[in-house]
Every structure is written in C-alpha cells, then in structure tokens.
Amino acid sequence: MKRWENGKYIELTAAEVKEIQQRAALAAAEEAKAAAEIATCQTQIEQLRQKAKERRISVDDLNDLVLAVLGDTINVRDVLSER
Amino acid sequence: MKREIQAGFLPPSALEWTRANYGISALSVHERAISMLRAQAQNPPSLKLAVNGGVYSYRGRMRLFLSGVSPEFSPPASGTRLDILYLDGESGELAIVEGDAAVAITDPLELPDVPEVAIPLAAVYLGEDQETITEADLYDLRSFLGDSHAPVTLGTFNNASLNGQELNYSLPDHAHQGSGADGGQIEAANLKSAGAMAGRVLTADGYLGCSWELARCVLINSVVLSSPTSGVTFSSISNAYSDLLLTAVVRSSKSTVSDGLWIRFNADTGSNYDSRVTTFLTSYTSGVNRAGTWGWVGYGETAASTSNAFSPVRVHIFSYTSALWKTWWSETWERRTAAANDDLIQRVSAGTWKSTSAVTSVTLLWQNGSNFVADCRFYLWGLR
C-alpha cells in the first residue's frame, strides 16, 4: 500500500498499515452497529403499524412511540435517515 | 526633418488635408480610419502587398510606419494556405508568417500564430502556384481599438515581508525598452509592507505602469493519481496566502456505499478535531465528532457507485497561518447509483482543529481505510 505526498508515492510503514487496519475495523463495527439499529427500528415500526391496523395499540406502545420520537431511546427520524 | 504620411495610393495633392489645417497628423479623420496600416494588392497585382503608412502603439510608445511594400509571398505548390502579413512592432519592418497547408476558410479563420512582436495587418488566402495577389485574397486583420500587449511580469517576491527588502527583477527581452540593463531594482524606500507578500507578482504594461497583481487564487500543488493510494498529503505549504482551498474529485475503493472522507492537519492524530457533517437527502441528518482524531470533510463515492461517478470535494481552510485555532468548511456530493431519490446526497461539514500552529500540511484519508482509486484528482490552492 502506498500514500501520496507532494509528488511522490510512498510505501506505507508497518505502523501506518496498522493504523489503517484499525480504522477499517472501527468503521466496519460502526457500520454494523448502525445497520443493526436501523433493522431494529424498522422492525419496531412495522410491528406498531401492524398493531395500529388491527386496532391493538396499547398505552405501552404509545409510550414507546413517544419516547422514540423524543429521542429517549431511539430517534426514529435520525436512525431512518442515517446513511 | 519629419516626413508626411502618404495616404494609400492617392497622391498628396488629392487629399483634403493640409498640414496647416490638420497639424502634423497627416490624414483626415476618415483617411485615418480607413487607410492607416492598410495592406492592399499592388497595382498591377504581384505577390507583394502595399501597406499604407500609419501610427501604431507598441508597448506604450507611439510609433510611425511610413508605408512600404511587403516581402514576396510564396504560394503553396499544392492546396491552399492562409498567411499573415504583420508589422514587427519592435523593428518597424513588414514580415510574413506562413500558415498551414490545405487550410479551409472557416469562421473563425484558422490563422497561424504570430510572433509576440507582431501587429497583424492582413491574412492572405493563397492558392496553388498563384502568381498574383488581388484584393479578393485579403482579409483585414487590423485592430482599430488599441493593441493587446499582455502585462509583463517583472518579478515575484520570495520574502514574507517587504520591510527593508529590495525588489530585484529582470525584464524579459520583449519587455526591454530603450537603453539600460535588463535587470533593475526598486529601492526599499518605495516599498511598503502589506503583510505576507511572498509569491506576489509585480507586473507592468505599456499603459498603466507597474502594479501589484490583485487578489487571486494560486495553484500550489496538484495530483491526478495514477494508482490506488491510501492517503493524499500536501506538505511544506507556504505561508504566503491568507486561506487555503482544497478541491478534489474522489472515489473510494470501499465495496459498500459511501465512505467517510477525513482530513488531518500537520499529521496530527491527537484528539484535537471537533466537526459536524450534515447530510441532505429527502430529509436531513447531522452527525458530530467531538475531540476526534480527524476532521470530517464529508463522504465520497465508492466501488458501489456507478462507474465513473466521483465525488466533488471543496474544503476551505481559513487563516491557516494565524495563531488562532484553525477552521474549515467543506462540501461533498454523491449520486451512488441514482436508483432512488435518496441516492443523491449533498453534505456540508465544518470543523475546528484546536491548534495554534500554522497549517503546513493537509492530508485527506478515508474513514474505512480504503484507497483513493486511480484518477482521483486533488488541487491545493492558495487564496489571497
């Protein structure tokens, strides 16, 4: 692997390679976490939607929904728009 | 003794003017507009042109051409050619520059380049073994409103300050006027300090004299990557500017959509960066990174995007030499595969690098440790 600096392609040092590998691992973990959060949120939304269609929404469901919208646990808007 | 200008083919006695009425300007207003420096076919026609006398401006000096006959044109052995008859502003002689063979008459005309000293007078359309030139072969090239002498660069400062400095400069040959050395010196007493001056350019032209070049954008360094590269660094950045502008088109080797684009200054990997990136899709979202080890510039296209899709990047780094903490403002754009509205994403970022050191190097890198693919382009500009 190489990097470019002021006109020269420079072979990476072992330390630089290690830093890149750590960065990649961290990014992959963050991406996996975000994907899991999105999946969880989508599941919850679908469950609520189904309950609403069946007229089975409970007070607890409404409480969860309010907290989700207000951001106490999951901020629906932000999670859904996260890329 | 001054000589009078002859007006074309008309004998002086046929002209309406007299020196008593019009002073030393030898032609009437109409004659001046029509005749001065006009190239015409000879009578009888030949392969030479007659050029009327006239006044012209060359590098700030008014000069008089007393009329004359051009050198002989050499028609092509086959095909056609557009030659140019010009007046050499320096020597005052008529000269010809030959055009390319088999040229067509197009709009604009495909004319050959002329020397820097040339004042073009006429283009001449020459055919195969043509023996004479008539008026129908001529295209008037005279410029009636001034000339187009570009400013001449006298010198560029290499010092950060003008205090006590002297400007040594050398004049290019074509800027040399009159007698004297080709180099010169402006005395220190005539120079006033105006902050960071290194790299500023002093120019002179024939009309306005010397002047400092006004605010401008200077390309400091650039690269078009020829192979995949993990990071791009511009280092040893001069302190001659007020701000830096980094522009690029980038694409990451990451296999899934969107890769975070990061910035680091002076190779600082400490927790000295605060930044926020706001993403505009159909809705918007915003993320922050406090006390990060990198700054957020935005995101870029990846291998999951359509081929040939690269993200434009613009990073403005403010007051990069000051002792203040450094700030930047940046923008990126992605279109991924454009399969859905939310594939089209605009991002705006800003941040602070909590350092009082002058920025001497800037590095761009990908969040996912991926590579900038070949053909990514990076340009670092100095603003002043």
Q: CB of B337 within 8 Å of any CB in chain A?
A: no
B4 has a pLDDT exceeding 70? no
C-alpha B273/C-alpha B323 separation (Å) is: 16
Residues B368, A2: C-beta atoms closer than 8 Å = no
Residue that has been written with the tokens 């290690």 in this structure: A18
Cα B104 from chain centroid (whole Å): 29
Averaged pLDDT of chain B: 79
Residues A23, B368: C-beta atoms closer than 8 Å = yes
Of A22-26, B63-67, B295-299, B345-349, the poorest mean pLDDT is in: B63-67
Among partner residues A6, A9, A22, which is closest to B234 by beta-carbon distance? A6
> Which pLDDT does position B316 carry in this prediction?
97
From residue B186, give the alpha-carbon distance in Å to each of B192, B213, B268.
12, 17, 42
Nearest Cα to Cα of residue B48 among B104, B87, B94: B94
Q: In one letter, which amino acid is B11?
A: P
B148 has a pLDDT exceeding 50? no
The DSSP-derived string for B274-320 is: EEEEEEESSSEEEEEEEEESSEEEEEEB-TTSPTT--EEEEEEEEST
B345 has a pLDDT exceeding 50? yes
B1 has a pLDDT exceeding 50? no
> Which pLDDT does position A72 carry in this prediction?
59
Q: What is the sign, positive or negative, of the torsion defined by CA atoms of B374, B375, B376, B377?
A: positive
Q: CB of B345 within 8 Å of any CB in chain A?
A: yes
Q: What's the average model confidence in pLDDT over A23-32?
A: 93
Half-sphere exposure of B324 (CA within 13 A, CB side): 11
C-alpha B18/C-alpha B182 separation (Å) is: 43
Per-residue pLDDT tens over the stretch B170-205 = 444 444 333 333 344 444 444 443 444 445 555 554
Q: CB of B52 within 8 Å of any CB in chain A?
A: no
Classify strands B81-88 and B118-126 as parallel, antiparallel or unpaired: antiparallel
C-alpha B91/C-alpha B93 separation (Å) is: 5
Residues B368, A1: C-beta atoms closer than 8 Å = no
Nearest Cα to Cα of residue B367 among B252, B232, B261: B261
**Are the C-beta atoms of residues B139 and B123 closer than 8 Å to each other?**
yes
Q: What's the average model confidence in pLDDT over B86-109?
A: 83
Distance from CA of A56 to the nearest CA of B (A): 30
**Are the C-beta atoms of residues B287 and B277 closer than 8 Å to each other?**
yes
> Which pLDDT does position A78 carry in this prediction?
57
**Are the C-beta atoms of residues B41 and B138 closer than 8 Å to each other?**
yes
Six-digit token pair at B121? 């007078």
**Are the C-beta atoms of residues B237 and B220 closer than 8 Å to each other?**
yes
B265 has a pLDDT exceeding 90? yes
Using CB atoms and an 8 Å cut-off, which of residues 273-302 of chain B contact chain A? 279, 281, 283-285, 299
Q: CB of B344 within 8 Å of any CB in chain A?
A: no
Which chain A residues are Cβ-neighbours of B257 within 8 angstroms?
Answer: 83
Per-residue pLDDT tens over the stretch B77-94 = 888 888 999 999 888 999
Among partner residues A6, A12, A22, which is closest to B236 by beta-carbon distance? A6
Distance from CA of B285 to the nearest CA of A (A): 6
Nearest Cα to Cα of residue A27 among B258, B304, B343: B258
Residues A5, B256: C-beta atoms closer than 8 Å = no
C-alpha B110/C-alpha B148 separation (Å) is: 19
Residues B367, A4: C-beta atoms closer than 8 Å = no
> Which pLDDT does position B159 carry in this prediction?
43
Of B98-107, B158-167, B238-247, B255-264, the poorest mean pLDDT is in: B158-167
From residue B118, give the alpha-carbon distance in Å to each of B84, B99, B142.
10, 15, 11
**How many CB pairs (< 8 A) connect A and B?**
67
Residue that has been written with the tokens 């007046």 in this structure: B87
> Which pLDDT does position B17 carry in this prediction?
45
User: What is this structure's pTM?
Assistant: 0.55
Nearest Cα to Cα of residue B345 among B309, B295, B294, B308: B309
Which chain A residues are Cβ-neighbours of B299 within 8 angstroms?
Answer: 83
Q: What's the average model confidence in pLDDT over B295-312?
A: 97
Residues A1, B234: C-beta atoms closer than 8 Å = no
Backbone angles phi, psi at B79, to 5 degrees: 70, -160
Six-digit token pair at B194? 């105006």
pLDDT band at residue B249 under the 50/70/90 scheme: very high
> Which pLDDT does position B111 carry in this prediction?
82
From residue A51, give the alpha-carbon distance in Å to each of A42, A48, B377.
14, 5, 53
C-alpha A68/C-alpha B130 separation (Å) is: 90
Q: CB of B231 within 8 Å of any CB in chain A?
A: yes
Distance from CA of A13 to the nearest CA of B (A): 12
Among partner residues A3, A22, A23, which is closest to B233 by beta-carbon distance? A3
Mean pLDDT is highest, among B16-25, B36-45, B148-157, for: B36-45
Among partner residues A2, A20, A77, which is closest to B369 by beta-carbon distance? A20
